[in-house]
Structure 1
Amino acid sequence: MAKLSFQALLVGLLASSASGALDGSRYLWYTSPATDWETGVLPIGNSRLGGAIFGGGNEVITINEDTLWDGPLQNRIPANGLAALPKVRQMLLANNLTDAGNLVLSQMMPAVGGERQFSYFGNLNLNFGHGSGISNYIRSLDTRQGNSSVSYTFNGVTYTREYVASAPVGVIAARFTASKAGALSVSATFSRISNILSNVASTSGGVNSVTLQGTSGQAQNPILFTGKARFVPQGGSVSASGGTLTITGATTIDVFIDVETNYRYPTASALAAEVDNKINTAVSQGFQKVHDDAIADSSTLLGRANINLGTSPNGIANQPTDQRVKSARSAFNDPQLIVLAWNYGRHLLVASSRDTSAAIDMPPNLQGVWNNATSAPWGGKFTININTEMNLWPAGQTNLIETQLPLFDLLKVAQPRGQEMAQKLYGCNGTVFHHNLDVWGDPAPTDNYPSSSMWPMGATWLVQHMMEQYRFTGDLDFLRNTAYPYLLDISKFLQCYTFTWQGNRVTGPSLSPENTYAVPQGANVAGQQEPMDMAPEMDNQLMRDVMSAIVEAAAALGISSSDANVKAASDFLPLIRTPRIGSYGQILEWRAEYPETDPGHRHLSPLYGLHPSSQFSPLVNSTLSAAAKALLDHRVASGSGSTGWSRTWLMNQYARLFSGADVWKHIVAWFATYPTPNLWNTNGGSTFQIDGNFGFTSGVTEMLLQSQTGTVHLLPALPGSNLPTGNVRGLLARGGFQVDIDWQGGSFKSATVTSTRGGQLKLRVANGQSFNVNGARYNGPISTTAGTKYSITV
């Protein structure tokens, strides 16, 4: 992919008065600085480090490091939980639902309610002395390269800034430039709300830097961190006073930033040495090489796939992004803004989830890797009853499959703690997580919240991403050494934890994430709002996917069906309770058709089998697909989609039902409420939560390509009347296929499928129309050859 230097960009902007110079499908850009962190900053990242850039005349950069959380590992195993478990189950069996829930909360919750929370390093404050009188202002983020830029004129001098987050070197780097020699001056200092151990500036030995050391604040075993910004000026003079470094009369200043914690480096001296090591490496290479290598690295990933949904009318895509977002609130007609949000989701994923040289990498949390507070909203945790999973939905299908690998590092950290939790809370072997993890992999019930905490199925969902890794890559070593052992560990827990009820193996105590029901007549206490039950439908679907995955993995690895583990999974499958269908033809959420307390609930948990699973696909089971649609339509009619992430889950769900019109409706609804002017997803119009960005990218992709049933389905849910012309390049299908598609007049035109590893290619086009492969009528699956392209035409 061609690289666009900031200087070339600037020339184009000045020549055109910033009108039409930037591709509205690729760049977020603005004609004024950010004034509010949540709604205005532009995020860059190298997975471990995140930078959020305001772009003001006097600059502020918020800096994050992915292991900088608010404290050490905690022991949160409930002391009385195991003894209470059989009592709770007897109450559930007797339909004494309220007392069962109360006993869970009093005896099976940890004494310490909360896990650790994602924090932040602080701000790098850069006072350039540029206040009022700025003109020709523009700032931008390139979603196809991952870099950000600022330019403006002040007192007749043009000032430019370029920012990159380098994965190859492991630093954030910036270059500040003045068009007039000697016209660039700045005072730099770090700031943080609390828990600063030291904050000093230095010019010792000609090394110009500001360094902040801090702590999470505990008396014992706190998280310690050190951050440094090193300044390399061209011309001018440098001085230090306290925590402020001042550079006067320079023409260019390069800055290299790193932060490390004792999570990865156990002593203060070791982490300080690592900061110096990374920064010294970057300085020795120089800004231009760091910049070019960073862009080459991110472009290699981001350039693998792209989509084109047509041109927005009336030049709206030439407007600054904040104006386009404002327009989209009331009257959406900007297909290039959809593409921009799709590209932005992929940028955010690459910027927050990379497999690096570190022993442990972290996946994106609720805020990705961007946060401006000592404790992020909702703790910035890894919430695993939907949000962490949603963060990684675009990984495989948009050709960024390696961005899942940090999740598996977190699972490696959490597994021994999950095994201990399984033993001490449930008396079982195997691994259990509840609905959150933190940086330490703490698997205990969290927040002591009635409708979310007692849900022992977090690991059961997360392990599906390991199977997806195999399905997209065909990596048998990963399947053999990582995914399959983890599946077996979870299977051991499920076989022990479940109990027999009405001839089925069921879970309990458990719940349907964050939802409640009204206790029915004949149960205790009738009319009371409760979350706790046994055999909630989502649990059944999750167990079915785990056991089916074991059988699938064993077959791929050549493990006999008579192997004890495989046989145990095969024998367990028919014991899982099948979905029940209710009075209006809907999938039942609970073991019975309880009265609803929130019919428009934001979680779509009982429809896990539709998306992200394939159990309710119209191509797999038309009866269950119709029942899933009945519940989904009911949820939407009752107000579901009340958060940004929930709205984007609806996009994915309706795509799986092949309803392009409904996908479009929820695209429009997402733009009407949830994105900020900098396109961050929000919970309800405010409060940044990144999952909806990833859910949006996934939902758009699902309407163009699906493969979850073993069929490569081209344009399964295209809203052709809204997006009549377009194309996609480089999307991935499970089974080892790369896909390019073109459509015209709202209908499929042609496609090219490249087989990356051979194997059977089963195809479907749109609603099942006839088509040709390499000129011959398609009549069934094709045996492919690795590296060969297959042309699909109508």
Structure 2
Amino acid sequence: MTKVCRPYQIQKLIVCVLLFLTFGYVAANESSTDLIIFFEQPGNNWETESLPIGNGKIGATILGNLVNDNIQFNEKTLWTGGPSATKSYNYGLPPYTTDDYLKRIEAVQNDISRQGSLTPKEVAERLGVEQENYGSYQSFGHLQLRFPGSHSQYSKYKRALDLNTAVAKVSYQSKGINYQREYFVSYPDNSLVIRLSADKPASINLSANISVPQNRTFQSDLVKPNELLVSGELLDNQLQYAAGLKVSVENGTLQQTNDGLVIKQADSVTLQLTAATNYALRHPNYRSTSSPRNKVNTQLAKNQTLSYADLLQRHLNDYQSLFSRVKLELNQSTPLAIDKMVAGYPFDNSKINQSLERIYYQYGRYLLIASSRAGSLPANLQGIWNKDIQAPWSADYHLNINLQMNYWLADMTNLTETLPPLFDYLDNLAVSGAQAAKQLFNSPGWVVFLNSNPWGSIGLIKWPTAFWQPEAAAWMAIQYYDHYLYTLDTTFLKQRAYPILKSASEFWLHNLVIDPQTKLLTVTPSYSPEHGYFTAGAAMSQQIIFDLFMKTITASSVVGDKTFQNKLQAAISQLDVGLRVGSWGQLQEWRQDLDKPNNHHRHVSHLYALHPGNHISPKSTPQFAAAASKTLNARGDGGTGWSKAWKINFWTRLLDGNRAYKLLQEQLSNSTLSNLWSNHPPFQIDGNFGATAGMTEMLLQSHLHNIHLLPALPAAWPHGQIQGLKARGNIEVSLQWQNHKLQKAVLKSHHDQVITLNNNEFNSSIAVLSDGKNIPFTSNNKDEISFTTLADQEYVVLIRQLNTTAENSLPVVNIK
């Protein structure tokens, strides 16, 4: 903004005043306390009352009990299952020869062609696999802090998580002394850090120890006067683990006992915990040669010279460099206790509603930063947090929506740094996926099915409604391409994205069949996720393959692979694209018109072409958009947490902000736990991520080769501002609106390019400025403008307000 405001030029001074008028109230209202999630009592229930913290590798949950503070923690690579010295592991591959399995597939295809459909049970019995040693994500254990019983008498209790800092705090008063506990997990120093303090000297007394579940060997060593090391291996697969605890005491005493480390009469105490395993994301053995004990000792030694202030500052520098990129301001109020906000939502008071919605939005970004950073596995069904040794659904990677949904928000909310774990994981999965393609289909390329784990499972099981989705690899490959669109990183496209896209496409070029009825290339057997019967050419299957081929064609033109591009173009001309309007105006889920208007199934997978695909839109395909709307109305607004989150995104793509907002309200009212975790039930984190993505698309969309500003702004958000979003084309976008109308947009493209903006207020007079100078633009229709940008230059789009004298004097261009 300082570049625009040059006082020696009257015109630019007017612009400066206008910018202050439109944005000044936001700066004045910003507060360090308005993104705090807090409770006013200790927590009892891990699932509903935990405050989660994490760094992508280590996660911990804070319940804040004052006498027994049990801090449950995780290290994301601690899994049972997989390769081991004592048990066989088949990576999900069946015990059949290639010829045998091909005959089984052909028999299923023939029966479907003859009968029209088969039940999931019939197909699972013929094509499913009893997967051996699939495994589960593990709770690592508990850091047990035991305080004297006198702390059971307390007042002024508050347990809070500040999303701006990723620091959790517990504060209370006991016997006239004010106590505080601070907790964070540092990514730079890969440690859970806890600071205990009081406002009276010599008031901190506690013991500290580490406990682990019984499904592993266990050794506890007091390796230094102030350090405790626990280690062992899982009984299931001999995966080695270690966790180290270091305690630093200001004054007071520290003693080693059988109960761990005992601290007495300290002024303050700092605890650091780190953990590791010998897992390695490397097919086929998934083991590192590095000892987890050595990893832990090395990390604690690195931390040796760092004070608490150093650790905290290094954490803040890292975390805030990501989180603070995006700021959302609504007409919010000061937050209430989070359990009260969730229980009372929606309130009659719109400011309280918008306060919760704003916190929930940023909470999704916070959770992704906390559960997905470079150097570890991607966020799983529970992100990084799990209290069990057999987690719900193993807390694994479901590839029929859940893993994909976890990362929808990453690029659009300016969190590109959270994506390396996803692509590293998929690169490795493609290795076993290539083996699966060869062994099961005698095919080139790669394929995986519905479930996977850190051990390279290709996902075949025998659960009838959740075992078959060979389009999963194609869907995951498309996410590489979408990341390229956001970054325009041609090195990433050529070296990582295109090989994955091409390999997935090669699989389908080999395995599509000409349907005898339609004479089109068809997926068979085909299954619409968790719903109905096995058929040929279910809508979602066809839509995904069409999307894969289209995006691989575009990618091939960038990398210069003309030969493969021609192959795909020939295939597309014969491909069933999976879009049909049925007898009651719905978008058909199957090739046959089988949909029932009273069916409220949670999956609406046949709307893939609407979202996350980009082949249905109200403007370019109004017939299919209307059919998608008909389908969504029939399915209703119910479902599980992730299902409602997907529906938010569907309605935003249909440009119906009020209906998207209604789904957001449904999500917060009925599928959100007291600590804001999404509820499947049980807790499943994809709903958090999907809802944040949907809220973003209410305000900004860029999937149709333009940048649509405020495409689905709900009536409930009449005023607001968002800063720092990302549009495809590697363009940062900030927006401000008043009375439901766009006032200003600020764009910064990181490449020289022509950008096209869309907004229904562009039929007013507008100005486009850069460095205080008017920038020429063209308009093809009343709500769209295009102009050329230079890399890293800021462009300001202002909408004239007819009742503002100063703005009426701006040099503007009337769009005709």
TM-score (norm 2): 0.87
What is the match of residue 503 of structure 1?
519
The answer as to whether partners of 2:365 and 2:689 remain within 8 angstroms in 1 is yes
Match of 1:494 among 508, 511, 528: 508
| SS of match in other structure, 2:434 | helix
What is the match of residue 586 of structure 1?
586
Matches of residues 357-368 of structure 1 in structure 2 within 5 Å? 358=375, 361-368=376-383
Shift, 1:753, TM fit: 1.4
1:51 aligns with 2:60: yes
In structure 1, what is the Cα distance between the partners aligned to 2:338 and 2:242? 35
1:37 aligns with 2:51: no
1:663 aligns with 2:660: yes
Q: What whole-Å deviation, never above 9, does each CA across 1:151-181 have from its counterpart, x for those lacking one?
A: 1111222221111211111111111112222
1:757 aligns with 2:762: no
The answer as to whether partners of 2:556 and 2:564 remain within 8 angstroms in 1 is no
The answer as to whether partners of 1:230 and 1:279 remain within 8 angstroms in 2 is yes
Match of 1:300 among 290, 305, 321: 321
What is the match of residue 368 of structure 2?
349
Shift, 1:597, TM fit: 9.9
Match of 1:647 among 630, 644, 648: 644
The answer as to whether partners of 1:773 and 1:790 remain within 8 angstroms in 2 is no
Residues 25 and 649 (structure 1), Cα distance of their counterparts in 2 relative to 1, 3 Å cut: farther
| SS of match in other structure, 1:259 | strand
Shift, 1:504, TM fit: 1.3
Shift, 1:451, TM fit: 1.9
Match of 2:405 among 386, 390, 411: 390
Shift, 1:330, TM fit: 6.7
| Equivalences, count | 738
Matches of residues 91-490 of structure 1 in structure 2 within 5 Å? 91-95=111-115, 97-98=117-118, 101-112=120-131, 115-130=134-149, 131-200=151-220, 202=222, 204-206=223-225, 208-218=226-236, 221-264=237-280, 266=287, 270-312=291-333, 317-328=334-345, 333=350, 334-355=353-374, 358=375, 361-446=376-461, 448-490=462-504
The answer as to whether partners of 1:213 and 1:227 remain within 8 angstroms in 2 is yes
What is the match of residue 16 of structure 1?
none
| SS of match in other structure, 2:115 | coil
What is the match of residue 629 of structure 1?
629
Residues 154 and 488 (structure 1), Cα distance of their counterparts in 2 relative to 1, 3 Å cut: same
Give the % identical residues: 30
What is the match of residue 539 of structure 1?
541
Residues 762 and 106 (structure 1), Cα distance of their counterparts in 2 relative to 1, 3 Å cut: same
In structure 1, what is the Cα distance between the partners aligned to 2:677 and 2:613? 27
In structure 2, what is the Cα distance between the partners aligned to 1:362 and 1:91? 40
The answer as to whether partners of 1:144 and 1:303 remain within 8 angstroms in 2 is yes
Residues 270 and 193 (structure 1), Cα distance of their counterparts in 2 relative to 1, 3 Å cut: closer
The residue identity in structure 2 corresponding to 1:301 is: L
Shift, 1:764, TM fit: 0.3
Q: What whole-Å deviation, never above 9, does each CA across 1:700-730 have from its counterpart, x for those lacking one?
A: 11100000011100000001x3111101111
1:612 aligns with 2:617: no
Shift, 1:211, TM fit: 2.8
What is the match of residue 782 of structure 1?
787
The answer as to whether partners of 1:451 and 1:532 remain within 8 angstroms in 2 is no
Residues 653 and 205 (structure 1), Cα distance of their counterparts in 2 relative to 1, 3 Å cut: closer
The answer as to whether partners of 1:199 and 1:210 remain within 8 angstroms in 2 is no
Residues 65 and 347 (structure 1), Cα distance of their counterparts in 2 relative to 1, 3 Å cut: same
Residues 616 and 96 (structure 1), Cα distance of their counterparts in 2 relative to 1, 3 Å cut: closer
| SS of match in other structure, 1:94 | helix
In structure 2, what is the Cα distance between the partners aligned to 1:407 and 1:728? 27
Residues 723 and 96 (structure 1), Cα distance of their counterparts in 2 relative to 1, 3 Å cut: closer
Compute the RMSD of aligned alpha carbons.
Answer: 2.1
Q: What whole-Å deviation, never above 9, does each CA across 1:11-50 have from its counterpart, x for those lacking one?
A: xxxxxxxxx9976641101221111101111111110111
The answer as to whether partners of 2:414 and 2:725 remain within 8 angstroms in 1 is yes
What is the match of residue 564 of structure 1?
563
Q: Which segment drifts farther, 21-30 or 330-339?
A: 21-30
Shift, 1:742, TM fit: 0.8
1:61 aligns with 2:105: no
What is the match of residue 13 of structure 1?
none
| SS of match in other structure, 1:197 | coil
What is the match of residue 792 of structure 1?
797
Match of 2:707 among 686, 703, 712: 712
| SS of match in other structure, 1:539 | helix
In structure 1, what is the Cα distance between the partners aligned to 2:224 and 2:332? 56
In structure 1, what is the Cα distance between the partners aligned to 2:378 and 2:467? 22
The answer as to whether partners of 2:50 and 2:61 remain within 8 angstroms in 1 is yes
Shift, 1:318, TM fit: 3.7
Shift, 1:572, TM fit: 1.5
1:515 aligns with 2:531: yes
Q: Which segment drifts farther, 241-250 or 598-607?
A: 241-250
The residue identity in structure 2 corresponding to 1:714 is: L
The answer as to whether partners of 1:535 and 1:590 remain within 8 angstroms in 2 is yes
Shift, 1:215, TM fit: 3.1
The answer as to whether partners of 1:432 and 1:457 remain within 8 angstroms in 2 is yes
Residues 404 and 712 (structure 1), Cα distance of their counterparts in 2 relative to 1, 3 Å cut: same
Structure 1: runs of 5+ lacking an equivalent: 1-19, 517-530
Shift, 1:793, TM fit: 2.5
The residue identity in structure 2 corresponding to 1:177 is: S
Q: What whole-Å deviation, never above 9, does each CA across 1:556-594 have from its counterpart, x for those lacking one?
A: 23x15xx22111111111222131110122111111012
The answer as to whether partners of 2:648 and 2:694 remain within 8 angstroms in 1 is yes
Residues 89 and 454 (structure 1), Cα distance of their counterparts in 2 relative to 1, 3 Å cut: same
| SS of match in other structure, 2:184 | strand
Shift, 1:68, TM fit: 0.8
Q: What whole-Å deviation, never above 9, does each CA across 1:422-442 have from its counterpart, x for those lacking one?
A: 111222111001011101221
What is the match of residue 553 of structure 1?
555
In structure 2, what is the Cα distance between the partners aligned to 1:52 and 1:121? 12
In structure 2, what is the Cα distance between the partners aligned to 1:599 and 1:456? 25
The residue identity in structure 1 corresponding to 2:229 is: T
Shift, 1:455, TM fit: 1.3
The residue identity in structure 2 corresponding to 1:278 is: Q
1:575 aligns with 2:589: no
In structure 2, what is the Cα distance between the partners aligned to 1:119 and 1:332? 42
In structure 2, what is the Cα distance between the partners aligned to 1:374 and 1:436? 19
What is the match of residue 35 of structure 2?
26
Q: Which segment drifts farther, 619-628 or 345-354?
A: 619-628
The answer as to whether partners of 1:411 and 1:441 remain within 8 angstroms in 2 is no
Q: Which segment drifts farther, 605-614 or 180-189?
A: 180-189
What is the match of residue 3 of structure 1?
none
Residues 597 and 417 (structure 1), Cα distance of their counterparts in 2 relative to 1, 3 Å cut: farther
The residue identity in structure 2 corresponding to 1:641 is: G
Structure 2: runs of 5+ lacking an equivalent: 1-28, 84-88, 281-285, 769-773, 780-784, 800-816
The answer as to whether partners of 1:184 and 1:251 remain within 8 angstroms in 2 is yes
Residues 570 and 268 (structure 1), Cα distance of their counterparts in 2 relative to 1, 3 Å cut: closer
